[in-house]
């Protein structure tokens, strides 16, 4: 069983927002909800850095611990999901999350009054259920990553993406100096 | 499988919910293909669904010249989403937000749905028949009253190659050279600068080749926002050790990836480049062997260049002399270096000379023609290279043939199946037929003044795929739109063309299909063609540009010349035959489709296929592609390979000797390469390869192992230009009166300048800076494209980037008492705009910046209510081109948007 993670190569990210748009179109996320947002620090100055911020699917998710109704769960492949049927919209998860990943729709928007939504590794679209009421469960393949304009946003099994990242930085460092980023 | 099925059901349902009005249950057409994994993609290929469930259709992003591929997901003829085309060698699945939102643009409920007419102050739905009758009727009426030159046709870089070619042909059959398109305001000066230097006006390399550069010099290109996926290749080069240098008045997102940023004053590229050249030559770092063997005029160049010391350049450009010296050393020590530019280089009154100076730097270092040593003109639109090649321009016929050339007209008449004399009769006179028409950048002048070089004013304008807010002098443009007798707007969206003018009658808008709803070839900046398959049939009542062209041609009585059995026909029967100057003969639709279908066999390192049916060919057969066996030419001027393997050489455009010139200098010196020099090839009858439709000249050349363009020399010294060597000339609106005196602009032009007189010297007012002390420059936001009519009509893009703004440095903001988010007026000699303040150190305290994608507000007043009901965009903003400067390139009439003067002050209640 792979352990799914995101890994951001900030030296590549240019804030082209391809990831944000890919996420929106693939998951049919309504306006106002941002499952992923690119944050820029030091904008317009030397040291300007862009960081795409989806849900990091933490190994020990603080949101999961904070949820009073156990709506949040972690799958065997590492992906953290929310059961919208259980969610009461209290927002504790948002306070607990260091990345601000949990999102709450405005009241009335598409009828989903205050149910928490966040990045699902593209497993679930915004509306979790199809027209027959079945839970939609797609493959774990984040479209932000496959669409990433510069391949800055790596996603997938932690082993595979670490290998890819190591290859990139190998060119920049003297041989033997590749740090272990896992 | 059940999972996939479920997800599709949801997608389809929610799409159709919003689409009940679309009538979108169209039959699926086009090609369905799956892709293989690429090395960089860490995931499985797009999931296969049972036939009838979901098809994946290969298509190309319509927003910029990188040409990113994507897969349209189609279920029962409905465009339900996009997947990454992971093995497209150009983007490896990557896309910026514009590309990842293509579907959102196509299914936008704000699209134009049926033909409409504004009459009596109200918008009414009309039928296609009515619309075509009215348009053709009015055109004929204008021809009767004023002559054919009183209709201006603005074509589009958003069309396919086939459509663009037919737009140009349409103008010819209508009988006027008043046809132009966005290439005029995009890279006309790249063509204007590169052709006089070495014979062709296109990017010499391709995006992927940037991976092999040891240094990337971005000057006037903010690729991270304007060509985002180009940065994939650039940053790979960086990981391999390449240096990145960015020269830009702003600390752009591209600059944030650089080793060195040179903050030059807008409009001072030439002194910066000449000073770099000065340091190179003084240190003897130039490539003398290359210069001697393959160029001409170095001494004349040095005669000018020697005076541009780093210290002089520091005063003009604001870049410290020691940084200039450092950069020269970086360029020498990290070769080959690629020089990359976009509209920051081209949109200047010295645009053509800017580009010439870039090319000269590459000649000096001997980098050009080598892998990694590109001259990368990053073009704007997805197909603007193709539409330029097709000559949808007022001074060209397809294939860069001048409208003043009778032999060129004769060749085209022959291909079109019409006698030359019959063609002449379609024009008001032969004289007008051989005369440059009006330009995209200044067409409105033709509608509002009488001192023009044609019988009557422009009385009707057909805007066919163009957001007019990308053109400067918008107040004049608005006036022109109010004065003409009829406006026709052909576009997927209503655009500001229909809403800007205050008039009650005489506007007809036709719903054109979006690029995803038709098929054809589009060409990247790197000269590679791709086939854009049709994803879905046109929605609503919209029709493809091809169909609309045919309807109009039929009604106007020349439809028989616009009858084709297929989209391919246009290409194989005409374009391949006539566009010989740049070697279009081998680039057939069949071959290009084969490349699309076998995209996984092309190596992203050099875009060459390894194994498979395209083995040895370069992706998209970058022109010149001399015949059906030729693999395409990935790098122009690369003489290290045989021509049959994609090798090339400088075009011998100036014959074998330096011609008689007004300087009486170097006359008779050889213009052919030192060893193996060859003139351009002609056939036995003496007809040049470019006009020889028998193909004999090309075969003679190939048999001899030469490019049909010969093997000539590139020119440091272009004796036929006003400035044979680039020199500094201050912008039309300059903040330095002292430098205006020393480096004045050109003399004014009379009405032979694309039919309308133009002030240069007279417009350059040294006093202007007193009233408008701040420099204004303009550019892009990554989420929007061009005039923004498409992208501001996408909910996704409108949400990610909802704002028009002006970037103001914190010091300037403090001085004028403006806080973040407050509304300010930006005012110039041309007009003013009301925009939000964005306080940032991207700009220095002397400069402000505005993006140019915005419309729907004019000098602070909204005209949203003038759009037909149910159309328009999701977000609006004031248009920066109301305030940009009235400067134009001396050679091409390119507009000067990158430097002007303005003032900024807080709005009342802002
Ligand atoms: S798509 Fe990639 S490069 Fe672009 S903003 Fe997102 S992470 Fe950054
Ligand atoms: S706009 Fe350009 S970079 Fe962005 S997806 Fe389209 S082609 Fe690629």
Model pLDDT for residues B213-241, shown as the tens digit of each residue: 999 999 999 999 999 999 999 999 999 99
Nearest in space to B359 (alpha carbons), one of B279, B274, B281: B274
Q: A19 contacts in B (CB within 8 Å)?
A: 100
The model's pLDDT over B588-632, given as tens digits with 9 standing for 90+, comes to: 999 999 999 999 999 999 999 999 999 999 999 999 999 999 999
B569, B609 in Cβ contact below 8 A?
no
Say yes or no for a CB contact (<8 Å) between B232 and A149: yes
φ and ψ of B397, to 5 deg: -100, 170
Confirm whether B894 is domain-assigned. yes
Site from A140, A146, A163, A168 to mutate, B interface, most B CB atoms within 10 angstroms:
A146
Concatenated DSSP letters of A3-23: -EEEEE-TTT-----HHHHHH
Q: Does B22 fall in a domain? A: no
Tell which atom from ligand 2 comes closest to the C-alpha of B60. 7
Ligand 2 atom nearest to B61, measured from its CA: 6
Please give the torsion angle defined by the CA atoms of residues B439, B441, B446 and B450, in that order, rounded to the nearest 10 degrees: -110
Which whole number is the average pLDDT over B411-431? 98
Q: Is residue B396 part of a domain?
A: yes
Fold of A4-169: Alpha-Beta Plaits (3.30.70)
Residue among B9, B43, B228 whose CB faces A141 most closely: B43
Other beta carbons within 10 Å of B168: 25
- Residues B754/B68, Cβ–Cβ less than 8 Å: no
Q: Say whether both B672 and B699 belong to one domain.
A: yes
Q: Say whether A141 and B98 touch across the interface (CB within 8 A).
A: no
Has residue B282 got a pLDDT over 70?
Answer: yes
Task: State how far the alpha carbon of B432 is from the alpha carbons of B136, B172, B455, B558, in Å.
Answer: 22, 12, 10, 20
Which of B681, B697, B724 is where one domain is finished? Answer: B724
Q: Is the pLDDT of residue B32 over 80?
A: no
pLDDT score of A97 more than 80: yes
Statement to judge: residues B162 and B211 lie in one domain = no
Name chain B contacts of A175, Cβ cutoff 8 Å.
none
Q: What is the pTM of this model?
A: 0.94
Of B10, B94, B842, the CB nearest to A151: B94
Bridge partner residues of B903 (DSSP): B827
> In this structure, is residue B215 part of a structural domain?
yes
Residue nearest to atom 5 of ligand 1 (CA): A15
* Contact present, B476 and B445 (Cβ < 8 Å): yes
- B interface test, pick of A6, A11, A17 with most B CB neighbours within 10 Å: A17
Q: Which residues of A11-46 are buried (b: 16+ CB within 10 A; e: fewer)?
A: ebbbbbbbbbbbbbbbbbbbeebbbbbbeeeebbee
Q: Are B888 and B895 in contact (CB under 8 A)?
A: yes
Chain position carrying tokens 């900030």? A10
Contact B671, B717 (CB under 8 A): no
CB distance B100–A21 less than 8 Å?
A: yes
Does the pLDDT value for residue B478 go beyond 60? yes
Every domain of chain A and the residues it spans: 4-169
B455 and B549 fall within a common domain: yes
- Test A125 with B799 for CB contact under 8 angstroms: no
Domain extent, residue B279, equals: 204-377
Confidence label for A113 from pLDDT (cuts 50, 70 and 90):
low
Domain boundary among B663, B698, B724: B724
Between CA B291 and CA B73 the distance in angstroms is 52
Helix H or strand E segment including B839: strand B832-839
Question: Mean pLDDT across the stretch B324-334?
Answer: 98
Task: With a cut of 80, say whether residue A111 has pLDDT above it.
Answer: no
Q: Has residue B22 got a pLDDT over 80?
A: no
pLDDT at B28: 26
Contact at 8 Å (CB) between B184 and B153? Answer: no
Vertex B167 angle, CA B543 and B153, to 5°: 100
pLDDT, mean of residues B367-384? 96
Query: Ligand 1 mean position to A13 CA, how many Å?
Result: 5
Q: Tell me how crowded residue B759 is: count the other CB atoms within 10 A of its CB.
A: 15
Query: Which of B190, B354, B218 has the alpha carbon at shortest distance from B273?
Result: B354
Contacts A77 to B, Cβ<8 Å: none
Closest ligand 2 atom number to CA of residue B95:
5
Query: How far is the C-alpha of B210 from the C-alpha of B444, rounded, in Å?
Result: 39
- Between CA B239 and CA A178 the distance in angstroms is 14
pLDDT at site B52: 64
Helices (H) and strands (E) in chain B, counts: 30, 30
Residue indicated by tokens 């996420």: A23
pLDDT at A1: 82
Closest Cα in chain A to B254: A14
Strands A72-74 and A80-82, how do they pair?
A: antiparallel
Contact A125 B40 (CB under 8 A): no
Cβ separation A149–B42 shorter than 8 A: no
Kindly give the distance from the C-alpha atom of residue B612 to the centroid of ligand 2, in angstroms, as a whole number. Answer: 28
Whether A150 lines ligand 1, by a CB cut-off of 6 Å, is: yes
Q: Do residues B288 and B430 both lie within one domain? A: no
Give the pLDDT score at B17.
31
Q: Which two tokens stand for residue B128?
A: 């296609």
Chain B: give the shortest CA distance to residue A160, in Å: 7
Q: Do B782 and A151 touch (CB under 8 A)?
A: no
B803 in a domain, yes or no?
yes
Mean pLDDT of B193-214: 97
Residue B195 lies inside a defined structural domain of this protein? no
The closest ligand to the CA of B797 turns out to be: 2
Q: Are B74 and B55 in contact (CB under 8 A)?
A: yes
Which atom from ligand 2 is nearest to the alpha carbon of A16? 4
Question: What was the pLDDT predicted at A106?
Answer: 65
CATH number of the domain at B147, please. Answer: 3.40.50.740
Would you call B457 helix, strand, or coil by DSSP?
coil
Half-sphere exposure of residue B348: CA atoms within 13 angstroms, side-chain side: 30
In whole angstroms, give the CA distance from residue B217 to residue B219.
6
Atom of ligand 1 nearest to the CA of A8: 7
Say if residue B879 is in the same domain as residue B785.
yes
Q: Are residues B686 and B764 in the same domain?
A: no
Q: Which of A92-106, B8-22, B463-477 has the lowest mean pLDDT?
A: B8-22
For residue B908, pLDDT beyond 90: no
The C-alpha atoms of residue B32 and residue B410 are separated, in whole angstroms, by 42
Q: Which of B2, B7, B262, B783 is the best residue to mutate to test the A interface, defined by the most A CB atoms within 10 Å of its own CB? A: B7
Residue B557: the pLDDT is 97
Pair B324, B429 in one domain: no
Domain edge (last residue) among B689, B724, B759:
B724
To test the pocket of ligand 2, the residue of A20, A149, A150, A152 to mutate (highest count of ligand atoms within 8 Å of its CB) is A149
Closest by Cα among B245, B295, B252, B272 to B350: B272
- Which string of DSSP letters, residue by residue, matches B769-792? HHH--EEEEEE--TT--TT-TTGG
How many domains does chain B fold into? 4
Residue whose C-alpha is closest to residue A78's, from A36, A38, A116, A120? A120
Helix (H, G, I), strand (E, B) or coil at B351: helix
B438 and B314 within one domain:
no
Q: Mean pLDDT of all residues in chain A?
A: 89
pLDDT value for B215: 98
pLDDT in tens, B771-780: 999 999 999 9
Select from A44, A15, A32 the least CA-distant residue to A104. A32
Mean pLDDT of B635-644: 98
Which residues in chain B touch residue A130, judged by CB atoms under 8 angstroms apart?
Answer: 6-7, 9-10, 13
How many angstroms does the Cα of residue A37 sit away from the middle of ligand 1? Answer: 10
Does B172 lie in the same domain as B208?
Answer: no
CATH of the domain at B836: 2.40.40.20
Q: Which of A159, A25, A34 is nearest to A94 (CA)?
A: A34
Give per-residue pLDDT as tens, A162-176.
999 988 887 665 444
Average pLDDT over residues A72-100: 94
Residue B58 is assigned to a structural domain of this protein: no
Residue B162 contacts residue B565 (beta carbons within 8 Å): no
CB nearest to A146's CB, from B43, B235, B801 = B43
- What's the CATH number where B312 sits? 3.40.228.10
Task: Compute the distance between CA of residue B320 and CA of residue B311 in angstroms, rounded to an integer.
Answer: 8
> Which percentage of chain B shows pLDDT scores above 90?
94
Give the residue carrying structure tokens 């929610």: B14
DSSP annotation string for A97-149:
-TT---B-PPTTGGG-TT--B---TTSS-SS-B-TTSPBP---S--HHHHHBT
Q: Which of B547, B576, B575, B577 is nearest to B562 (CA)?
A: B547
A147 with B84: CB under 8 angstroms? yes
Q: Mean pLDDT over all residues of chain B? A: 93
């Amino acid at each position: 069983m792979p352990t799914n993670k995101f890994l951001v190569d900030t030296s590549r990210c240019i804030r082209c927002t391809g990831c944000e748009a890919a996420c929106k179109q693939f998951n049919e996320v309504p306006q106002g909800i941002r499952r992923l947002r690119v944050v820029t620090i030091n904008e317009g100055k030397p040291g300007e850095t862009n960081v795409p911020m989806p849900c990091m699917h933490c190994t020990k998710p603080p949101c999961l611990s904070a949820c009073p109704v156990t709506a949040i769960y972690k799958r065997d492949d590492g992906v953290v999901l929310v059961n919208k049927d259980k969610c009461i919209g209290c927002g504790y998860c948002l306070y607990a999350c260091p990345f601000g990943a949990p999102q709450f729709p405005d009241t009335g928007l598409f009828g989903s009054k205050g149910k928490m939504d966040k990045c699902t590794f593209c497993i679930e679209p915004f509306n979790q259920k199809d027209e027959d009421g079945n839970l939609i469960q797609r493959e774990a393949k984040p479209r932000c990553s496959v669409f990433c304009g510069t391949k800055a946003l790596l996603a997938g099994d932690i082993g595979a993406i670490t290998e890819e990242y190591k290859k990139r930085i190998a060119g920049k460092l003297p041989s033997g100096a590749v740090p272990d980023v896992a | 499988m059940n999972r996939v099925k479920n997800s599709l059901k949801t997608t389809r349902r929610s799409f159709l919910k919003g689409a009940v009005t679309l009538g979108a249950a169209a039959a699926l057409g086009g090609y369905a293909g799956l892709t293989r994994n690429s090395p960089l993609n860490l995931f499985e290929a797009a999931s296969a669904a049972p036939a009838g469930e979901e098809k994946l259709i290969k298509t190309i992003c319509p927003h910029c010249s990188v040409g990113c591929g994507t897969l349209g997901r189609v279920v029962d003829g409905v465009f339900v989403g996009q997947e990454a085309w992971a093995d497209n060698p150009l983007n490896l699945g990557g896309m910026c937000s514009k590309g990842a939102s293509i579907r959102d643009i196509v299914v936008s409920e704000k699209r134009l749905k049926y033909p409409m007419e504004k009459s009596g102050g109200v918008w009414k739905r009309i039928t296609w028949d009515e619309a075509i009758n009215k348009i053709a009727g009015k055109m004929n009426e204008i021809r009767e009253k004023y002559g054919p030159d009183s209709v201006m046709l603005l074509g589009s870089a958003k069309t396919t190659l086939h459509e663009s070619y037919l737009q140009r042909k349409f103008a010819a059959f209508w009988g006027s050279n008043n046809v132009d398109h966005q290439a005029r305001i995009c890279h006309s000066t790249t063509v204007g600068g590169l052709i006089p230097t070495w014979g062709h006006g296109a990017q010499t390399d391709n995006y992927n080749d940037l991976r092999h550069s040891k240094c990337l010099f971005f000057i006037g290109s903010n690729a991270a926002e304007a060509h985002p996926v180009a940065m994939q290749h650039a940053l790979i080069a960086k990981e391999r050790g390449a240096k990145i240098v960015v020269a830009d008045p702003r600390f752009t997102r591209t600059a944030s990836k650089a080793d060195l940023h040179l903050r030059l004053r807008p409009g001072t590229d030439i002194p910066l480049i000449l000073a770099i050249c000065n340091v190179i030559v003084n240190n003897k770092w130039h490539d003398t062997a290359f210069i001697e063997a393959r160029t001409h005029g170095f001494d004349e160049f040095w005669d000018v260049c020697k005076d541009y010391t780093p210290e002089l350049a520091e005063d003009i450009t604001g870049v410290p002399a020691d940084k200039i010296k450092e950069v020269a050393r970086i360029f020498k020590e990290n070769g080959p270096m690629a020089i990359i530019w976009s509209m920051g280089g081209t949109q200047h009154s010295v645009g053509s000379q800017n580009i010439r100076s870039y090319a000269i730097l590459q000649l000096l270092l001997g980098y050009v023609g080598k892998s990694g040593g590109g001259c990368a003109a990053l073009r704007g639109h997805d197909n603007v290279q193709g539409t330029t090649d097709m000559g949808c321009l007022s001074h060209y016929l397809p294939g860069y043939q001048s409208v003043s050339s009778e032999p060129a007209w004769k060749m085209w008449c022959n291909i079109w199946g019409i006698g030359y004399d019959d063609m002449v009769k379609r024009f008001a006179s032969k004289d007008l037929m051989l005369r440059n028409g009006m330009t995209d950048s200044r067409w409105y002048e033709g509608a509002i003044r009488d001192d023009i070089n044609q019988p009557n004013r422009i009385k009707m304008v057909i805007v066919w795929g163009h957001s007019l807010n990308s053109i400067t002098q918008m107040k004049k443009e608005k006036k022109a739109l109010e004065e003409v007798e009829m406006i026709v707007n052909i576009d997927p969206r209503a655009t500001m063309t229909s809403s800007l003018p205050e008039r009650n009658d005489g506007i007809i808008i036709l719903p054109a299909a979006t690029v995803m709803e038709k098929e054809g070839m589009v060409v990247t900046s790197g000269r590679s063609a791709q086939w854009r398959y049709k994803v879905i049939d046109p929605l609503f009542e919209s029709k493809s540009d091809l169909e609309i062209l045919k309807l109009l041609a039929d009604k106007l009585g020349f439809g028989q010349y616009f009858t084709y059995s297929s989209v391919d026909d246009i290409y194989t029967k005409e374009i391949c035959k006539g566009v010989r100057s740049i070697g279009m003969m081998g680039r057939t639709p069949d071959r290009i489709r084969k490349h699309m279908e076998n995209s996984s066999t092309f190596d992203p390192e050099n875009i060459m296929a390894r194994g498979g049916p395209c083995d040895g060919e370069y992706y998209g057969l970058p022109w010149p592609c001399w015949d059906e066996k030729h693999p395409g030419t990935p790098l122009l001027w690369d003489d290290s390979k045989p021509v049959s393997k994609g090798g090339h050489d400088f075009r011998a455009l100036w014959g074998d000797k330096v011609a008689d010139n007004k300087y009486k200098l170097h006359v008779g010196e050889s213009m052919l390469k030192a060893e193996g020099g060859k003139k351009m090839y002609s056939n036995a009858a003496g007809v040049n390869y470019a006009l020889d439709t028998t193909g004999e000249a090309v075969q003679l050349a190939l048999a001899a192992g030469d490019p049909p363009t010969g093997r000539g020399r590139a020119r440091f010294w272009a004796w036929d230009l006003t400035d044979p060597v680039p020199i500094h000339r201050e912008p039309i609106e300059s903040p330095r009166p002292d430098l205006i005196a020393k480096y004045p602009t050109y003399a004014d032009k009379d009405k032979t300048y694309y039919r309308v007189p133009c002030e240069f010297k007279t417009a350059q007012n040294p006093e202007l800076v007193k009233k408008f002390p701040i420099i204004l420059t303009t550019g892009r936001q990554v989420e929007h494209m061009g005039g923004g009519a498409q992208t501001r009509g996408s909910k996704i893009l409108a949400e990610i980037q909802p704002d028009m703004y002006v970037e103001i440095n914190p010091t300037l903001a403090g001085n004028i008492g403006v806080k973040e988010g407050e509304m300010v007026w930006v005012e110039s000699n041309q007009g003013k705009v009301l925009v939000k303040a964005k306080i940032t150190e991207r700009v220095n305290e002397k400069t402000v910046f505005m993006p140019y994608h915005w419309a729907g507000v004019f000098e602070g007043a909204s005209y949203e209510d003038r759009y037909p009901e149910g159309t328009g965009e999701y977000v609006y903003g004031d248009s920066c081109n109301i305030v940009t400067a009235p400067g134009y390139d001396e050679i091409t009439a390119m507009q000067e948007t990158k430097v002007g003067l303005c003032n900024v002050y807080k709005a009342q209640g802002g």
